């Protein structure tokens, strides 16, 4: 292949690999803090994120990306 213009890419610096269990613990703590402060909309958001990461961990998925 003489033309390799499609290969001139740079990595996305904003994409990180996340540990699912660590993110679960972080989101659960944020959920508990928001619930304690009576911020229900924020608490439900963090609870949903915590449930998502817990489900990934329960399926055996240890890492995910933050797209």
| DSSP labels, 12-66 | -TT--EEEHHHHHHHHHHHHHHHHHTT-HHHHHHHHHHHHHHHHHHHTT--EEE-
Per-residue pLDDT at 6: 60
Q: What is the pLDDT of residues 35-45, one digit of tens each?
A: 999 999 999 99
> In the beta sheet, which residues pair with residue 64?
18
Q: What percent of the chain has pLDDT over 90?
A: 69
Q: Where are the domains positioned within the chain?
A: 14-65
Give every residue of the chain whose pLDDT is below 70, as ranges.
Answer: 1-12, 67
Per-residue pLDDT at 7: 62
Angle 58-37-35 from CA coordinates, rounded to 5°: 25
């Amino acid at each position: 292949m003489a033309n390799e213009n499609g290969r001139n890419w740079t990595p996305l610096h904003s994409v990180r690999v996340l540990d699912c269990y660590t993110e679960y613990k972080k989101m659960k703590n944020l959920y508990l803090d928001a619930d304690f402060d009576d911020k229900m909309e924020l608490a439900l958001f963090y609870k949903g994120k915590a449930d998502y990461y817990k489900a990934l961990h329960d399926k055996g998925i240890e890492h995910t990306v933050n797209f």
